[in-house]
Structure 1
Amino acid sequence: MNRWLVGAAALVLATPACGETLHDAVAAAYATNPELAAARARQDALGEAPEQARVIGRPTVDAGGDAGYDRFNSGRTGTASIGATLPIWTGGRASSAVRAANSDVAAGAEGLRNIEAAILERVVGAYADLLYNQQAVEVARVGIERLDAQVAEARSRFGLGQATRTDVAQLEAQRASVVANLADAEGALATVAATYRAIVGQAAGALSAEVPPPAALPATLDAARDEAQAANPLLLQQRRVADAAAARIDRERAERAPFVSLNGAYGYGGRIADDRIRGYEAAASAGLALRVPLLTGGLVPSRVRQATATYRAERFQTDAAAREATRAADAAWATLAAARARLAANAEGLVAADLALKGVRAEYSFDLRSTIDILVADQSFRAAQLAVARNRSDVLIAQAALLRATGRLTGSVY
């Protein structure tokens, strides 16, 4: 099969191998894509949740003061105070809140990984579509050049009485058709180039058609399924969401437990009389505070039941995500296998179409073939070129889909 692919690659007449590579496109998207930057910023914000949850078990200090005027007694007065609270026993409130927050952050990280994979899949798709359209334009241009030479030869043969006016007209009609194809291809190329620029963040030059298969591709369907269960970002995200839901059950149950803290305060007051500040005696206090929930009106049991039901739902959702991960791996594997088979078959057909066109042209010069034979051979050759170009793009897209399903679509793959 490799022999056919190498031969076909040389016949597509596509973009040069030294052009812009898929690695360049992926690197540009990583650096400039605003959707990816926004997702990273949201993850940074979510990353603060564990730190905020730890506050429940940490000491806090606050200061306060007031000032006023009493015309009958003290005149102008003011007070200042400072207080501190040190939680000693939270009943599991702090630890469960931190576990829930950590699970939320882990789920967000998997969600970010999925967003990155989705954007990379779009980059690969845009690259593949643009590559195909660049090749389609090139195929049409080379086809026009080939038909120009054929029309000139037919006119020369007509002048020598070796061909008819019909032969010339048939070739001219074929050339006009290919010119129309070129206009369509250039219009499609401009549209796809706009999509590429929006995703990648820069205008594309001539793309390189040489894209080696990613080394991270699974070798077998069973391996793809196993990798999907182990690394699919949507599945891992759902597992972390379920972990967070489990921690929130403990968080709600902790509201039944006592809360013990060490509290302290220091205050000082004063008044202004006879243009002098006269101070009151300072006061300080310290002691243990105990809060024991005795009756909550059914609020805590209700929240526990609610959190438990939410956890059950997330567990069911995890099972569904596992099935979806396997389905995505199966579908991507089948799509890639079909794309590879089409590419191999059409690559073989392209080599044969090239030999047929060369043979028909040689036989035409000895009056062994008609103009119709040349037209059919030329059209078949161009169709084979486009088929191979399309199949090569399909393989790129299918590879990206399989890598995403197995959780391996990252910037380092290409």
Structure 2
Amino acid sequence: MRRGLRAATLGAAMAVIAPVASAETLADALVNAYNHSGLLQQNRALLRAADEDVAVAGTALEPVLRWTASAQQQFGRARGSTLAGVQDTDSLTLSGSLIGELLLYDFGATALRVEAAKETVLATRETLLGIEQQVLLRAVQAYMGVIEANEFVALRQNNLRVLTQELRAARNRFEVGEVTRTDVALAEAQLAQARSGLATAEGNRQIAIEEYRNIVGRMPGALRPPPRLPTIASDVDAAKGLAVRRHPDLRAVQHQVSAAELLIRQAEAAKKPTVSLQGTLSLSENLDSSNFSSGGSIGLNAGGTIYQGGARSSAVRRAIAQRDAQRGNLHVVRHNIQQNVGNAYASLRSARASLEASDRQIRAARVAFRGVREEATLGARTTLDVLDAEQSLLDAEASRISAQAQLYNAAYAVLASTGQLTARDLRLPVQLYDPAEYYNLVKDSPTKQSKQGAQLDRVLKRLQRD
């Protein structure tokens, strides 16, 4: 029976180890998740929209050229004092105007709006990095989830084989009168429980496979055991300080606070007058009388609102309130990040301790199981004792599988909590998304006909293909 147990255990181990040579690695899963993620694509598009906000805000400082055209048909009849009698006064007049405007001075309101839009772009970039960390951490969890589920299934299958042998042995011993019918019934009940456990493990494996397919973009093949744990500093306080300095969620809120400060100044400047330059060129022709006229004008315009029911003062107060809300959010995010670092380190220590305890528990449970089996052979133990020992060994091995997965999840959660779980930090072999490429093309609001606009079209087509 001991030879059978060793053979079953070795067979289960070989089934997991055999395909390792061609197995997928954790790095492969992370690369595929980075390239597959629709969440990253969504937030990259939102970043490009924020880039366009800078371009739109900046156009207020550029010249504006407008045109108008009209055609006017007049109908009428007139009676004169001469013998000509009644005369038609119909006429068709065509006119057109070309109007140019340029904002000269608005006390910096437009420039402040542009700077606020730039801060929003920086905040959106950091938000994108935060999303990237979420995607990669979920990929790690999905990878470890499949490995954990596979090991649980292999463990349950091995347990089922062992209990089948136990039941066969109990029946043989019952036939020769060494045990009672109760011992056989206990073995049958334990085997039925093992079948139920295997069905549950297989169901959990299918759930883990679906999670992996969703995150990584394809069904998992044979997965290589996870690599060595990433290097993690032991000083929790230093890790909290690092997280406060570089975590993308915190830096995003810092840029949002800066944008809110700028919008306060913009709202105050918007209460002041503006000065602009305007030029007009107009043409008019009466097709019935062949009259043609043209003219133009150029001048400075200055103006401002004297009274608007308190709307402008309300806009300033609203901007101040939004700034205060962002400051409060900054306070919340900072403390949440510090807490997340502490929680991640606590989970890591707990997983390490649990793994070490599980190893000791397995060694002790294996020795106890072997001893109980030997004593049962000599008649000093019952079948129930053997089954209880077998269950204790199974529980210990299951605890180790869970602890191993928790250890890796906790280690990468530490990296995410400190802002270090990005494709760049992990040195993944992927084409990193460059957030500045699109911004540099659109920040000056290029027209579609310009050389820069043509280059922008090529970038957009490439992004759509990706």
* TM norm structure 2: 0.77
- Of 110-119 and 337-346, more deviation after overlay is shown by 110-119
**1:24-64 Cα distance to aligned partner (Å, 9 max, x none):** 33222222232332222222212211111111211111111
Letter in 2 for 1:270: E
Task: Please state if 1:285 is matched with 2:279.
Answer: no
Q: Which residue of 2 aligns with 1:224?
A: 239
| Aligned positions, number | 402
Q: Which residue of 2 aligns with 1:61?
A: 65
For the aligned residues, what is the CA RMSD?
A: 2.9
Q: 1:143 aligns with which of 159, 175, 178?
A: 159
The separation in 1 between residues aligned to 2:16 and 2:97, in whole angstroms, is 76
Task: Please state if 1:313 is matched with 2:325.
Answer: yes
- Give the 3-state SS of the residue equivalent to 1:281 in structure 2: strand
Q: 1:397 aligns with which of 382, 391, 409?
A: 409
* TM norm structure 1: 0.86
Question: Would the alpha carbon gap of residues 172 and 298 (structure 1) be closer, same or farther in structure 2, given more than 3 Å must change?
Answer: closer
Percent of pairs with identical residues: 30
Whose RCO is larger (CA < 8 A, sep 6+)? 1
Q: Which residue of 2 aligns with 1:272?
A: 287
- Of 313-322 and 163-172, more deviation after overlay is shown by 163-172
Task: Give the superposition deviation at 1:225.
Answer: 0.6
**1:198-229 Cα distance to aligned partner (Å, 9 max, x none):** 333322234333243224x3432012211221
Q: Which residue of 2 aligns with 1:201?
A: 217
Q: Which residue of 1 aligns with 2:345?
A: 333
The separation in 2 between residues aligned to 1:44 and 1:316, in whole angstroms, is 27
Unaligned runs of 5+ in 1: 1-8
Q: 2:136 aligns with which of 116, 120, 142?
A: 120
Q: 2:336 aligns with which of 320, 324, 331?
A: 324
Letter in 2 for 1:377: A
Q: Which residue of 1 aligns with 2:392?
A: 380
Task: Give the superposition deviation at 1:116.
Answer: 2.5
- Of 361-370 and 312-321, more deviation after overlay is shown by 361-370
Q: Is the 8 A contact 1:266 1:285 kept in 2?
A: yes
Letter in 2 for 1:192: A
Question: Would the alpha carbon gap of residues 78 and 175 (structure 1) be closer, same or farther in structure 2, given more than 3 Å must change?
Answer: same
The separation in 2 between residues aligned to 1:117 and 1:173, in whole angstroms, is 47
Q: Is the 8 A contact 1:70 1:76 kept in 2?
A: yes
Q: 2:32 aligns with which of 11, 28, 34?
A: 28
Task: Please state if 1:241 is matched with 2:253.
Answer: no
The separation in 2 between residues aligned to 1:164 and 1:250, in whole angstroms, is 90
Task: Give the superposition deviation at 1:252.
Answer: 0.8
Task: Give the superposition deviation at 1:242.
Answer: 0.8
Q: 1:106 aligns with which of 114, 122, 128?
A: 122
**1:351-399 Cα distance to aligned partner (Å, 9 max, x none):** 3333444455566666676544432332222111110111112223322
**1:272-299 Cα distance to aligned partner (Å, 9 max, x none):** 238xxx3512212222222245555533
The separation in 1 between residues aligned to 2:12 and 2:344, in whole angstroms, is 26
Q: Is the 8 A contact 1:49 1:101 kept in 2?
A: yes
Letter in 1 for 2:276: S
Q: Which residue of 2 aligns with 1:87?
A: 103
Letter in 1 for 2:226: E
The separation in 2 between residues aligned to 1:101 and 1:367, in whole angstroms, is 83
- Give the 3-state SS of the residue equivalent to 2:293 in structure 1: coil
Question: Would the alpha carbon gap of residues 222 and 201 (structure 1) be closer, same or farther in structure 2, given more than 3 Å must change?
Answer: same
Q: Which residue of 1 aligns with 2:86?
A: none
